[in-house]
């Protein structure tokens, strides 16, 4: 549990610095440096948990493979965004609406509390704490969406606050129902909200109320994840926030809601409700992919475009969750987070350089701004899931999983969605990259603001080469993210039942003879 505490000082220090430091420039640099250290700390302290099967539960929080992996990923996303934010705020200060030092300090103060709330979501073992942190993440990020103070930003903030709050209220109803059910389970005393304890007595979690609870929880956390048809806030909030915040909303916050869904899905699977979970979550996830890809076609604003692409990826991750594969979920989350942070940061650069995000107004980037154009092209290819990027491996894995589970209709729908998304992505990207340069287009050759997106795109490219052998070798031992969440010691007798368990062994891209987890 000390591992979790070691993650607290740096966000707290940046928060204090935001309150005390009057110099916004110094603050952005200090925060970037400290957050980079935070990533190293997270990897150093939690890396070993990500590759082991232990579960440590104390004070309502837990460290296991899932929480360790997503704590590291969240830290990485925040660090990359803050590193870029140094250049972002420098450019803002030169722009038409320079933010005051107070605004920058407020952004950093809220960002740090927001980061801590995301840590809380990922590391919660108590469903009550999970809910509190999730709602706190909405409340703390809403002011960040309102950064530009425009009528559009205000509208986006309002929608974000009200839709997510109502959605999450349903999740609390589900939590309360589950708590009520647990009070009637012998062995749980006065009832519990602890995932570990509920998991240990999962066999007793039966009846229609458990299913009702899951439906409410799915609606609640599904809203926050942007699952169709509860997604309407997502493109607004992600497009109106400043670029580094959009990157964090898309690269880290969406993962957090999906982690909540993963925890509940595994709990339900253990309670013998695997078939029900799959029957509710899988259609929703596939519909999300299809809807997002159709929305992608008609987008005219680059940031809204990336927001719908995030929704597309959320759908894929939800498919992985519904099929019970944590590995596929983790891999897809990693690839999507890294590349989407890069793309949102690039969109921020474009807005600052050319003053517009309208796709139709940007032409000929390849001739006017080649370094930027190359990164944009690579990022678009990566997010579309083309080989040799890591996202291809992840999406291929998800499709294989669906085939292995005999969800052929789903596979067909997913392929259709992915194909439409690919067409939309390549159509819009090529219209920006090619063509003749218009006046007012950015003409810089290279600047520092391409450093972070460049590193991230390289990372996704590298993942495409690193992942397959490494993944196939270690997945059998359950490294990185487990397909099956390890049970607490006293719960070993309650193995998961139903389709999710059946699917655990169905990673068909495992090589023959690979060691399987006992």
Partner 1 sequence: MVALFSVEPLSLMAIIVGLCTLGLTSLRNCMAAYGVQTVALGLLAIELGVQHGEPVALWVGCVVLLLKGVGIPVYLGVVARRIGCRRDEGLLIAPPLLMFATLAAIALLVLTPGMAAVVPLHVWPSLLLVTIGMIFMMTRRMALTQIIGFLMLENGIFLYGISQPHSMPFIVELGVLVDVLAGTMLGGLLAFRLSDTFDHIDTTVLRELHG
Binding positions for partner 1, 157-176, rule CB under 8 A: 157-159, 161-162, 165-166, 169, 172-173, 176
Q: Which of 19, 98, 183, 387 binds partner 1 (CB under 8 A)?
A: 183
Shortest Å, Cβ 271 to partner 1: 17
Nearer to partner 1, 92 or 236 (CB): 236
Cβ–Cβ under 8 Å, residues 249 and 238: yes
Angle at 69 between CA 319 and CA 278, to 5 degrees: 20
d(CA 67, CA 57): 11
Answer yes or no whether residue 297 interacts with partner 1 by CB under 8 A.
no
Answer yes or no whether residue 111 interacts with partner 1 by CB under 8 A.
no
Pick the stretch among 147-155, 278-286, 320-328, 438-446 that binds partner 1 (CB under 8 A).
147-155
3-state secondary structure of 301: strand
Answer yes or no whether residue 293 interacts with partner 1 by CB under 8 A.
no
d(CA 476, CA 397): 15
Shortest Å, Cβ 172 to partner 1: 5
Residues in a beta bridge with 58: 61
Nearer to partner 1, 112 or 342 (CB): 112
The string of DSSP letters for 61-113 reads EEESHHHHHHHHHHHHHHHHHHHHHHHHHHHHHHSSSPPPHHHHHHHHHHHHH
Q: Which of 69, 129, 369, 422 binds partner 1 (CB under 8 A)?
A: 129
d(CA 172, CA 216): 8
d(CA 231, CA 227): 6
Nearer to partner 1, 54 or 155 (CB): 155
What binding mask, one character per residue, do residues 200-239 give for partner 1 by CB under 8 A, x or -? --------xx--x----------------------xx--x
Q: Is the dihedral of CA 135, 137, 139, 145 positive or negative?
A: negative
CB atoms within 10 A of CB 180: 12
Answer yes or no whether residue 154 interacts with partner 1 by CB under 8 A.
yes
d(CA 407, CA 435): 42
Q: Which of 109, 123, 177, 383 binds partner 1 (CB under 8 A)?
A: 177
Q: Which residues contact 320 (CB under 8 A, 6 or more apart)?
A: 326, 328, 329, 332, 397, 398, 401
Q: Which of 146, 262, 372, 422 binds partner 1 (CB under 8 A)?
A: 146
Q: Which of 96, 97, 151, 493 binds partner 1 (CB under 8 A)?
A: 151
Binding site residues, partner 1, CB under 8 A: 126, 128-129, 131-132, 135-136, 138-139, 142-143, 146, 151-152, 154-159, 161-162, 165-166, 169, 172-173, 176-177, 179-180, 183, 190-191, 193, 208-209, 212, 235-236, 239-240, 295, 298-299
């Amino acid at each position: 549990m000390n591992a979790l505490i070691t993650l607290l000082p740096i966000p707290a220090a940046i928060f204090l610095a935001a309150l005390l430091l009057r110099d916004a420039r110094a603050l952005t640099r200090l925060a970037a440096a400290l957050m980079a250290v935070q990533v190293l700390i997270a990897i150093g302290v939690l890396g070993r948990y990500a590759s082991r099967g232990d579960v440590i539960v104390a004070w309502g929080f837990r460290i296991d493979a899932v929480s360790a992996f997503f704590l590291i990923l969240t830290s990485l996303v925040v660090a990359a965004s803050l590193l870029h934010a140094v250049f972002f705020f420098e450019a803002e200060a030169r722009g038409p609406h320079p933010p005051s030092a107070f605004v920058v300090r407020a952004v950093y103060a809220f960002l740090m509390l927001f980061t801590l709330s995301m840590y809380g979501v990922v590391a919660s073992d108590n469903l009550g704490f999970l809910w509190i942190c999730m709602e706190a993440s909405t409340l703390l990020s809403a002011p960040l969406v309102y950064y530009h103070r425009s009528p559009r930003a205000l509208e986006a903030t309002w929608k974000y606050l009200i839709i997510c709050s109502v959605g999450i209220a349903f999740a609390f109803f589900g939590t309360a129902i589950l708590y009520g059910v647990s009070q009637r389970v012998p062995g749980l005393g006065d009832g519990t909200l602890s995932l570990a304890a509920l998991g240990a007595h999962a066999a007793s979690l039966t009846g229609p109320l458990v299913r009702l609870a899951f439906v409410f929880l799915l609606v609640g956390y599904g809203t926050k994840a942007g699952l169709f048809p509860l997604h309407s806030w997502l493109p607004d909030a992600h497009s109106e926030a400043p670029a580094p915040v959009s990157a964090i909303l898309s690269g880290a916050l969406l993962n957090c809601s999906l982690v909540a869904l993963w925890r509940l899905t595994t709990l339900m699977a253990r309670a013998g409700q695997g078939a029900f979970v799959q029957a509710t979550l899988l259609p929703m996830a596939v519909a999300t992919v299809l809807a997002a890809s159709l929305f992608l076609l008609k987008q005219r604003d680059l940031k809204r475009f990336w927001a719908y692409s995030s929704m597309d990826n959320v759908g894929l991750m939800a498919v992985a969750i519904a099929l019970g594969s944590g590995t596929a979920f983790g891999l897809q989350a990693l690839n999507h987070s890294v590349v989407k942070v890069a793309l949102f940061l690039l969109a921020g650069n474009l807005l600052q350089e050319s003053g517009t995000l309208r796709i139709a107004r940007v032409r000929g980037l390849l001739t006017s701004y080649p370094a930027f154009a190359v990164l944009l092209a690579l990022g678009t290819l990566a997010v579309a899931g083309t080989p040799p990027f890591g996202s291809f491996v992840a999406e291929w894995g998800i499709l294989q999983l669906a085939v292995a589970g005999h969800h052929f209709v789903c596979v067909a729908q997913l392929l259709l969605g992915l194909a439409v998304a690919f067409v939309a992505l390549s159509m819009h990207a090529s219209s920006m990259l090619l063509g003749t340069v218009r006046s007012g287009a950015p003409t810089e050759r290279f600047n520092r603001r391409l450093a972070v997106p460049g590193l991230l795109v390289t990372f996704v490219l590298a993942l495409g080469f690193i992942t397959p052998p490494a993944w196939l070798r270690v997945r059998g031992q359950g490294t990185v993210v487990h397909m099956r969440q390890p049970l607490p010691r006293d719960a070993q007798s309650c193995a998961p039942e139903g389709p999710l368990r059946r699917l655990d062994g169905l990673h068909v891209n495992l090589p023959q003879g690979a060691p399987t987890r006992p």
